[in-house]
């Protein structure tokens, strides 16, 4: 039975998995990033969250746009704003902005970077100036406080596109559980369009719940690179295909990029 909810927006990721580096199924070169984004688009993804190689950002974006209209979301929110000029100059549709400090702990790398509210304000002003939609990363309830701070200062425009992160290890970790997911979404601002990222096998339980709750989902090699327990997917497109099947089984249709743009508020 079909639901009356808005269609599901699927975000794909093609970067490496820091928590499961042994998977080794991520896109490494600009060419591989392009090909994976196209394959994910063909499987049903409407947003490509990609880590673009330095000095090839515009070229990579142009190559994707030459072949499809998938929404391009520039990642690496860990980078400070002054290191992302090349990304903003390349004019992706969206840019990822973390709403709190980075504190992540993986097998081969630790990430600790400050992102003060002044930087968040500058990000919002730059997004408005360049007409690039911010994708706000929400890691805990302090992230929501900062978002409400930006809303109060009238620095962000409705609808607010958010991605909730659960299960990512480090000081910004939160449990990838039903309780945490339901508790987190209770406090989101009105007019939020919310996607969900789960790092770990718990996504098998939480993402279907998010779909039923009318939220959107993010899947790919960066989040959880396995198609089934300890079996790496061939690439991100196989993970997109799997979540499409899950959503259709639930009865929720998939948004294409044009429909996703309307839901997110990208002109």
Domain boundaries, the chain: 10-264
Residue 104, beta-bridge partner list: 111
In this predicted structure, what is the pLDDT of residue 1?
39
In this predicted structure, what is the pLDDT of residue 34?
96
100, 186, 179: which is closest to 142 by C-alpha? Answer: 100
Does the pLDDT value for residue 189 go beyond 50? yes
Does the pLDDT value for residue 145 go beyond 50? yes
Mean pLDDT of 174-189: 96
pLDDT in tens, 206-262: 999 999 999 999 999 999 999 998 999 999 999 999 999 999 999 999 999 999 999
Please, which residues have CB within 8 angstroms of residue 124's CB and are 6 or more apart in sequence? 134, 150, 155, 156
What is the CATH T-level fold of the domain 10-264, as seen in this structure?
TIM Barrel (3.20.20)
CB 265 within 8 A of CB 133: yes
pLDDT in tens, 4-49: 579 999 999 999 888 899 889 899 999 999 999 999 999 999 999 9
Q: Flag the least confident range among 54-58, 152-156, 192-196.
A: 54-58
Confidence of residue 3 (pLDDT cuts 50, 70, 90): very low
Here the tokens at position 99 are 């709403």
pLDDT in tens, 99-109: 999 998 888 88
pLDDT in tens, 108-140: 888 899 999 999 999 999 999 999 999 999 999
Give pTM, 2 decimals. Answer: 0.95
């Amino acid at each position: 039975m079909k639901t009356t909810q808005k269609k599901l927006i699927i975000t794909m990721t093609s970067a490496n998995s820091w928590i499961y580096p042994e998977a080794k199924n991520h896109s490494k070169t600009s060419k591989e990033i392009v090909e994976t984004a196209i394959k994910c688009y063909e499987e049903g993804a409407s947003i490509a969250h990609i880590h673009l190689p330095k000095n090839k950002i515009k070229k990579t974006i142009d190559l994707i746009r030459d072949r499809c209209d998938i929404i391009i979301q520039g990642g690496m929110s860990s980078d400070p704003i002054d290191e992302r000029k090349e990304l903003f100059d390349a004019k992706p549709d969206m840019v990822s902005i973390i709403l709190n400090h980075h504190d992540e702990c993986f097998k081969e790398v630790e990430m600790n970077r400050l992102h003060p509210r002044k930087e968040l304000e500058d990000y919002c002003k730059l997004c408005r100036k360049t007409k690039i939609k911010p994708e706000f990363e929400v890691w805990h309830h302090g992230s929501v406080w900062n978002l409400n701070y930006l809303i109060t200062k009238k620095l962000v425009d409705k609808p607010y596109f958010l991605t909730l992160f659960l299960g990512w290890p480090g000081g910004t970790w939160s449990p990838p559980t039903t309780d945490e997911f339901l508790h987190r979404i209770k406090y989101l601002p009105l007019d939020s369009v919310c996607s969900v990222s789960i790092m770990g096998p718990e996504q098998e339980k939480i993402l279907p719940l998010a779909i039923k709750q009318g939220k959107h989902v993010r899947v790919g090699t960066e989040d959880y690179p396995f198609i089934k327990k300890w079996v790496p997917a061939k690439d991100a497109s196989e993970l997109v295909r799997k979540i499409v099947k899950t959503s259709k089984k639930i009865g929720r249709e998939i948004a294409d990029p044009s429909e996703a743009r309307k839901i997110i508020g990208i002109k």
